[in-house]
Structure 1
Amino acid sequence: MVVPLTVALSLIVAVLLNQKIKGKSIYRVIYFLPMVAAPAAVAMVWKWLFNSEFGLINYLLSLVGIQGPQWVSDPNFALIAIAIVGIWSAIGYNMILLLAGLQEIPKDYYEAASIDGAGPIRQFFTVTLPLVSPTLYFVVVTSIISAMQVFDTIFMMIDKTSVALENTQSLVYLFYQHSFTVNDKGYGSAIIMLLLAIIMIITFIQSKVEKKWVHY
């Protein structure tokens, strides 16, 4: 869920910021700021925003008559909260990569497509997507691997005694828990080997998909 949304939003933002708009340099800096901040600090800020009693998000929801949920303690919403933080944190980095790929596309292709009668939407699917596909492929691969290795956001946002912890544990978090909390190094090593195997399988599948969908 996180990876498709992150990649799609990053591409949309990159396309918008590649247009001739006022202050686009400022917008680029704003979107990239999450990558500069320490992940632990980001998680703590979001934990405050998600606070069910005095958090900003629930306060804004209350202004429109909506009772906000317990974001980080309710098992039904904790994973959504983690996903929101993950998407927000990754958009800036992915946007910069995709923006660099978009700026490498010659303007002549868009002019030729416009002469042939292609509108903005058709140009996006027939010109932009094929030519930015190498960068998009890299973004997808790195996003999947990063999503599987998430740890600090879960560790900082979800309380160790919370009932929501069971629904938000990643493989890396399980490795930490069994290796350093339970002190079962063998089980922890098995988890890491499983994670390695999953990443290798996903990478192999993506390498096969690359030959069909990526245009160099």
Structure 2
Amino acid sequence: MTSSAVREADVAAPAAASAPPAGRGRRRGRSDLGWALVFVLPLFAGIALFYLWPIVRNLWFSFTEWGPFGDSEWVGLDNYIELAGDATMGRAILNTLGYTAMLLCGVPLAIYFASLLNRPGLRFANLFRTAFFLPYVAMPAAISMVWRIIYNGDFGILNYALSLIGIDGPSWLSTEGVALVAVALVGIWISLGFNLIILSAGMKGIPVELYEAASLDGATRWKQFTTITVPLLTPSIFFVSVMTVIAGFQVFDLLYALMGTQNPAIDKTQSVVYYFFTNIKTGDNGYAAAIGVVILLLVGIFTLLQFRLQKKWVTYV
């Protein structure tokens, strides 16, 4: 045997000795898969129990009609056919779309405030961020009580301020057409803090060198904002927009706490979720379940539409 063959045999022998048998490798792979399932299974079980099962159960209820004693009867598509001709449901959908559109108007406002809070050398920036974020974590009932006093048509501070400049303010929460705008303004104020935190974090991820290079080229602050900040911030803007649309379609607590159930304008201002609540309250659970399915479809359609459109305007670096 030549010396080169001896060396090759010496190198191959340890490698062959260290390689595990084929059967042992397969057993180890199955063991790793088993442990992975052990750790992932509780998560999947929670999702199935608290998310998927209620959706399936609600879908089943939407094809039934419930009696006064909790007994149900299969009615097929009758609830959906009735929904298609329900004028109140159509008005609730339009109110929800209008509220969501007004809520989206708060996104540019959040971008503006985030750019101000991210200016170099700004003192007490964290204090300002905390002040903006507090309404988002506060109890909706407490916020609504404060805003009901502000919006009061007789002694509210808003109408008092308008009277100083000769304007007779309306009864904000009980006037049709005005009430939805009043509720949307509170919604914008509440969501502003969350949007501002997300957008501020996105701005901090933009390299400072880009602004320095643009400044050397003579770009003004506004030019830097429109050509650097906004394009590179579009992923954060997209995320905030998706969350805002979902929150807009789920609006209920503000309407309920601000306007109540006896408000004369609530029938013309209610959202889809509020209409769902009124049907649950009257015991029409099958019809309410059909409304819940419609809400799920609306949220899914608009979210999918946003994901499709984001390819045209979102810039990922």
Check if 1:102 corresponds to 2:194.
Answer: no
Between 3-12 and 93-102, the greater mean CA deviation after superposition = 3-12
Check if 1:8 corresponds to 2:129.
Answer: no
Code of the residue aligned with 1:12 in structure 2: it is Y
Instruction: Name the SS for the 2:152 alignment partner.
Output: coil
> For residues 3 and 34 of structure 1, what CA distance do their matches in structure 2 show?
15
Code of the residue aligned with 1:155 in structure 2: it is Y
* Corresponding position of 2:130: 29
Gapped regions of structure 2 (runs ≥ 5) = 1-100
Give 1:167 shift.
2.4
User: 1:1-216, aligned counterparts within 5 Å?
Assistant: 1-19=101-119, 20-179=121-280, 181-216=281-316
Q: C-alpha deviations, 1:39-88, integer Å up to 9, x for none?
A: 11111111111011111111111222221110011113111110111010
Between 161-170 and 131-140, the greater mean CA deviation after superposition = 161-170
The structure with the largest alpha-carbon Rg is: 2
Between 42-51 and 111-120, the greater mean CA deviation after superposition = 111-120
Code of the residue aligned with 1:182 in structure 2: it is T
Equivalent residues of 2:111, 2:196 under 8 A apart: yes
TM-score (norm 1): 0.95
Between 158-167 and 31-40, the greater mean CA deviation after superposition = 158-167
Give 1:5 shift.
1.4
Give 1:103 shift.
0.7
Q: C-alpha deviations, 1:150-193, integer Å up to 9, x for none?
A: 101100111322221022211111111101x2110111111111
Between 142-151 and 163-172, the greater mean CA deviation after superposition = 163-172
Instruction: Name the SS for the 1:76 alignment partner.
Output: coil
TM-score (norm 2): 0.66
Equivalent residues of 1:3, 1:140 under 8 A apart: no
Code of the residue aligned with 1:91 in structure 2: it is L
Between 114-123 and 48-57, the greater mean CA deviation after superposition = 114-123
> For residues 128 and 251 of structure 2, what CA distance do their matches in structure 1 show?
27
> For residues 113 and 290 of structure 2, what CA distance do their matches in structure 1 show?
39
Instruction: Name the SS for the 1:72 alignment partner.
Output: coil
> For residues 268 and 220 of structure 2, what CA distance do their matches in structure 1 show?
45
> For residues 172 and 152 of structure 2, what CA distance do their matches in structure 1 show?
7
Code of the residue aligned with 1:184 in structure 2: it is D
Q: C-alpha deviations, 1:96-119, integer Å up to 9, x for none?
A: 010010011110011111222221
> For residues 99 and 197 of structure 1, what CA distance do their matches in structure 2 show?
32
> For residues 204 and 159 of structure 1, what CA distance do their matches in structure 2 show?
33
Give 1:3 shift.
2.8
Equivalent residues of 1:11, 1:98 under 8 A apart: yes
Gapped regions of structure 1 (runs ≥ 5) = none
Task: Report how many residues are paired.
Answer: 215
Instruction: Name the SS for the 2:177 alignment partner.
Output: helix
